Chain A
Amino acid sequence: MMEKILEVKDLNVSFNTYAGEVQAVRGVSFDLKQKECLAIVGESGSGKSVTAKAIIKLIHDPGVIKKGSSIKYLGEELANKNFDQMRKIRGSEISMIFQDALTSLNPTKKVGHQVAQSLIIHQKMGKREAFDKAVEMLRFVKIPNPERRANQYPHEFSGGMRQRAMIAMALVNKPNILIADEPTTALDVTIQAQIIDLLKDMQEELNTAIVMITHDLGVVAGSADRIAVMYGGMIVEQGPKKEIFYRPKHPYTWALLNSVPRLNTKSKETLYSIKGTPPDLIQPPLGCPFAPRCEFRLNICNEKMPTAYPIIEGHDAKCWLLDERAPKVKVFERLEV
């Protein structure tokens, strides 16, 4: 069994707003093993992006990572590190790429210099040397003409090329973990596939583990080893990709998988959608956050959040239906993705 390089336990992140404390992430726990790709999926507002940023503590005022949260990187606790201690890890051990590469690259700095940035910071390289290394890195992420491209500004890059440059920037120090916050959302489908392929190649060559944040199950199917499904600031189900796709246990996962449009959907058929809206995280529900939208809701669902029921090794779900006292429900015939 491979070594765990990241252990997140009971992560709580809140934002103090005028309206009240928004509990964006409520007790999230997961592990990441070496070279593994963990996909965190969920709809907007489920807390997946906040979870990702919390790993390298890029949570800014008014957001706070609450006491009791634990983020262990190679056994080292990150939760109580300050900004300067975190700096040593950011960009060298754990890197992050963002959704929209256009807005995540500094518009006033040449792409080559941006890629060189973390080399100068972490490897104490000289500017010239770092820039040459950056050009190599751009070549490595398959940007054609890297010598010329390195001297250009982000606005001279296409969307896909920008995301490649972002990836180069994040991976230039060969980090152990790459956090990818919806890396393909802003791209069109053909480019999406290329970026996913690139990330997989990089993962192979640099032995980087990836935390992939996405709402696109297609992306997950193509890249993930394990999947964590988030809803209302919690992980409601997690397990190996095959388990989640073929033997999901949580009604939210069912609903999510059911909403994926299929090639064999008849043209007149209405696309499935989950009725209702996600919960208000200023006053999060006592019970299961999905209960109000759940077709299989039991009385207890509104009152108490279930603990995780283990299904098989590495697969568990938080749903009362998995309790032995719960009525058996027949959910679905077969899901294909």
Chain B
Amino acid sequence: MAKYFLKRLIYAFFTVFIVITITFFLMHAIPGDPLGELVGRLPQSVQESYYAKYGLDKPVYQQYFIYIQNLFLRGDFGESIVYPGRSVNSIIARGAPISARIGIQGLAIGISLGITLGIIAAYKRGKWMDYFVMFVALFSISIPSFVFAAVLQYFLTVRYQIFPVTGWGTFAHTVLPAMAFGLRNIGVKARFMRSTWLDVMGQDYVLAAEATGMSKFDVTFKVILRNALTPLVTIIIPELAFIFVGTFVLETIFSIPGLGTYFIAAVSARDYPMIIGQTIFISTLYVTSMLVLDFVYVLIDPRVRLIKK
């Protein structure tokens, strides 16, 4: 067992390493550089010292080795070019919790409502309730979150002044963006849960469980829910990595100082350390979530325990 996970851990490490390498060289392969605009009209010597400051005067492969060295020895992502004097580490450390908060709240709304609606739809299959839930689900999937964000802003801040329009600081500030982020999730989860639930409900072992005299409650929660959980966990855990990414657009709309605001600025300014740093951050999270998924799988699905304990 331990050997299996050690192997997975090594694979995960290599995956991240490859992502770093590819991102690094891709960024540098794009014509132009982050300093071009900034130093364009300055004298030659000043230009050169600028390039030297960020290490951009060296050949790309040397830059790569320096970067890797800094990253692995000191965990240092370097200094931002757009925001001089601030390290990428500090920007991520400040922005990530903010993005994650919206993401987690939104995901919580999406998962809880989505699963509940999905189960209701499954039990009421073919009835008006089912059609209604599926309509709402389709609706929520089709509407982009920024459209929904604007609608929420209009109704809940302009018409009825319940929540602040934009900004960050209190819980009230998090409600609208989380709702806008969660909406799409409701639809996705509801549809997923409905089909999973129906699939499990139709299994012979549910019938066999009923044939032993189990109560409806026990059949629902001990048999169906238990078995519907495996596919659900499979789709939820990888999403945890994307709670940082899904909120990028919403952060701009609601003026939230999360990762997204910095990331978008970094891409348009071709801020190498920022872009590479954030890419590493997110891909590491994703790879980690996959690793976690493997662990959780072993816990919840006995069929995955292939290796002798």
Contact in complex: A121, B213 (CB < 8 Å): yes
Besides A106-B227, A107-B205, 20 other CB < 8 A contacts?
Answer: A58-B207, A87-B213, A90-B211, A90-B212, A95-B212, A96-B208, A97-B208, A99-B204, A100-B204, A103-B205, A105-B205, A105-B208, A106-B208, A106-B223, A107-B227, A107-B301, A108-B226, A117-B212, A169-B208, A170-B211
Q: Does B303 contact A (CB under 8 A)?
A: yes
Q: Across the interface, which residues of B come within 8 angstroms of A100, CB to CB?
A: 204
* B109 at interface, CB cutoff 8 A: no
B294 at the binding interface (Cβ < 8 Å): no
Q: Decide if B214 touches A121 in the complex (CB within 8 Å).
A: yes
Which residues of B lie under 8 Å from residue A106 when comparing CB positions?
A: 205, 208-209, 223, 226-227
Q: Contacts A106-B227, A107-B303, A153-B303 hold; do A98 and B207 have CB atoms under 8 A apart?
A: yes
Interface contact B302-A155, CB-CB below 8 Å: yes
Assess the B301–A118 pair: CB atoms within 8 A: no
Determine the distance from Cα of A95 to Cα of B212 in the docked complex, in whole angstroms.
7
Q: Within the complex, which residue of B126, B204, B215, B223 is in contact with A98, where a contact is CB–CB below 8 Å?
A: B204
Interface residues of B in 97-144 (CB under 8 A from A): 126
Q: Is the CB of B301 within 8 A of A108?
A: yes
- A-chain residues with CB within 8 Å of residue B216 when the two chains form the complex: 83
- Which residues of the partner chain B approach A99 to less than 8 Å between Cβ atoms? 204
Give residues 190-249 of B contacting A (CB, 8 Å): 203-205, 207-216, 223, 226-227, 230
Give chain A residues whose Cβ lies under 8 Å from the Cβ of B205: 103-107
Q: Which of A62, A96, A155 contacts B303 (CB 8 A)?
A: A155
Closest to B215 in A: A87
- Name 8 A/B residue pairs within 8 A (Cβ), A-sorted: A58-B211, A62-B126, A83-B216, A87-B213, A95-B212, A103-B203, A108-B302, A169-B212
- Determine whether A23 belongs to the interface, using a CB cutoff of 8 Å to chain B: no
Q: Which residue of B lies closest to A89 (CB)?
A: B213
Q: How many chain B residues touch A (Cβ–Cβ < 8 Å)?
A: 22
A118 CA to B208 CA in the complex, in Å?
11
Task: State how many angstroms separate the Cβ of B44 from the closest Cβ of chain A.
Answer: 71
Q: How far is the CA of A107 from the CA of B226 in the complex (A)?
A: 10
| Nearest-Cβ distance from residue B66 to partner chain A, whole angstroms | 51
User: A104-B205, A108-B226, A166-B208 in contact; A117/B302 too (CB < 8 A)?
Assistant: no
Instruction: Assign chain A's interface to a size class.
Output: 20 to 34
Interface residues of A in 53-97 (CB under 8 A from B): 53, 56, 58, 62, 83-84, 87-92, 95-97
A84 to B217, CA, bound (A): 11
CB contact between B227 and one of A62, A104, A108, A153 (< 8 Å): that residue: A108
Is A122's beta carbon under 8 Å from chain B?
yes
A-B contact count (CB 8 A): 76
Flag A137-177 by CB within 8 Å of B: 1 or 0 each.
00000000000000001010000000000100110000000
Identify which of B211, B214, B226 contacts A95 (C-beta below 8 A). Answer: B211
Residues of B within 8 A of A105 (CB): 205, 208
Could you tell me the distance in whole angstroms from the C-beta of A49 to the nearest C-beta in chain B?
Answer: 11
B302 near A103 with CB under 8 A, answer no
For the complex formed, measure the closest distance between the CB of A228 and the CB atoms of chain B, giving whole angstroms.
Answer: 21
Contacts of B223 in A (CB 8 A): 106
**In the assembled complex, which residues on chain A have CB atoms less than 8 Å from the CB atom of B215?**
84, 87
User: Which of B212, B215, B230, B303 gathers most chain A CB within 10 Å?
Assistant: B212
Quote the shortest CB–CB distance from B219 to chain A (angstroms).
10
Do A117 and B214 touch across chains, with their CB atoms under 8 A apart? yes
Q: Output the least CB separation between B249 and chain A (Å).
A: 39
CB neighbours of B212 from chain A (8 A): 90-91, 95, 117-118, 121, 169
Q: Tell me if B213 and A90 are in contact (CB < 8 A).
A: yes
- The closest CB in chain B to the CB of A99 belongs to B204
**B214 and chain A: residue at smallest CB distance:** A121
B residues 123-169 touching A (CB-CB < 8 Å): 126
Q: Decide if B210 touches A104 in the complex (CB within 8 Å).
A: no
Residues in A whose Cβ lies below 8 Å from that of B203: 103
Cα distance, A106 to B206, chains bound together (Å) = 8
Complex-state Cα separation, A100 to B204, whole angstroms: 8
Closest chain A CB from B102 CB (angstroms): 34
**How far, in Å, is B239 (CB) from chain A's closest CB?**
23
C-alpha gap A130/B205 in the complex (Å): 20
- Give Cα distance in the complex from A108 to B231, angstroms: 13
Bound form: Cα–Cα A84–B214 in Å: 9
3 interchain residue pairs of minimum CB distance: A91-B213, A91-B212, A90-B213
B215–chain A nearest beta-carbon distance, Å: 6
* Minimal beta-carbon separation of B297 from chain A (angstroms): 12
